[in-house]
Amino acid sequence: MNEDHTRTPLDDSLSQNSSTVGPKSLRVDARRNRVRILDTALSFFAAEGLSVRIEEIAQQAGVGIGTVYRNFPTKELLFEAVIHRYQQKLVEEAESLLDHDDPGEAFFRYITRVIEGGAANKALTAALSGTEIDMETVASGISDNLRDVLGKLLARAQQSDAVRADIGADHVKALMVGTILAIEKSADEIGLPVGIISVICDGLRTKPI
């Protein structure tokens, strides 16, 4: 009775590369369900944060609760799996901006994009900020990877004198998180996001004189 189908949360997102066999080759129907669950969970988490009921995800995904739990033994683990994707995308995006001609623009474009994307995605917000959950694993995962690339992006921008020198990646990360949260929490006044982002960016720039 010793169930050990519990894969570690970070190595499994279900290797899309159809050729490779994957963790242990799931049965075809199982793999399909897994994808459905992840997709559904993503949209729910993004829209409503961690408070969605597992039952609702299961229903919408067209599977039973039990199936969700077979794949993700815990709500938290499901969340982690969902977030792990997003994280990857963010990091990749940052990396692709690392060899941009204008380090300053690369930097500002990146934080703008992260903020705009995040403001529409409660799941990401929760993951980045640690709101709503403890998030041992993911949090540190995100922090490490994202802080790294962000740090590089920032360093280049600072070297090219586009960004003030007295701040670090932590500041930037905090500012992004805060801005995302602020936008998310505010009544949806039109124009708010743009205005706020502009304030942040201006505050980060080196001063003219």
Partner DNA sequence: TCATAAACGGAATATATATTCCACTTTATT
Partner DNA sequence: AATAAAGTGGAATATATATTCCGTTTATGA
* Residue 150 CA neighbour count, 13 Å, CB half: 23
Q: Does 27 participate in binding DNA (rule CB under 7 A)?
A: yes
Residues touching its own copies, count (CB under 8 A): 35
Cβ-in-10-Å burial (0-12, 13-18, 19+) of 168 comes to middle
Site string for its own copies, 112-141 (x = CB under 8 A): -----------------xxx----------
Q: Does 29 participate in binding DNA (rule CB under 7 A)?
A: yes
- Give the whole-angstrom CA distance, residue 94 versus residue 150: 7
Q: How far is the CB of 132 from its own copies (least distance, A)?
A: 9
**Member of 9, 12, 33, 158 binding DNA (CB under 7 A):** 33
Tokens of 44: 């729910």
Of its own copies, DNA, none, which one sits near residue 173, judging by CB under 5 to 8 A according to partner kind? its own copies
The string over 131-148, giving b where at least 16 C-beta atoms fall within 10 Å of a residue's C-beta and e elsewhere, is: eebebebbbebbbeebbe
User: 3-state DSSP call for residue 163?
Assistant: strand
**Member of 13, 43, 67, 143 binding DNA (CB under 7 A):** 67
Q: Does 13 participate in binding DNA (rule CB under 7 A)?
A: no
Measured CA to CA in angstroms, residue 72 lies from 19, 102, 139 at distances of 24, 43, 18
Which span sits near DNA by CB under 7 A: 8-16, 54-62, 109-117, 172-180? 54-62
Q: Is the dihedral of CA 162, 164, 165, 170 positive or negative?
A: negative
Q: Does 192 participate in binding its own copies (rule CB under 8 A)?
A: yes
Q: Which residue has the tokens 């505050």?
A: 203
Query: Among residues 41 and 157, whose Cβ is nearest to DNA?
Result: 41
| Residues engaged in binding DNA (CB under 7 A) | 5, 26-30, 33, 51, 53-55, 62-67, 69-71, 73-76
| Residues engaged in binding its own copies (CB under 8 A) | 129-131, 164, 166-168, 170-171, 173-175, 177-183, 185-186, 189, 192, 195-196, 198-204, 207-209
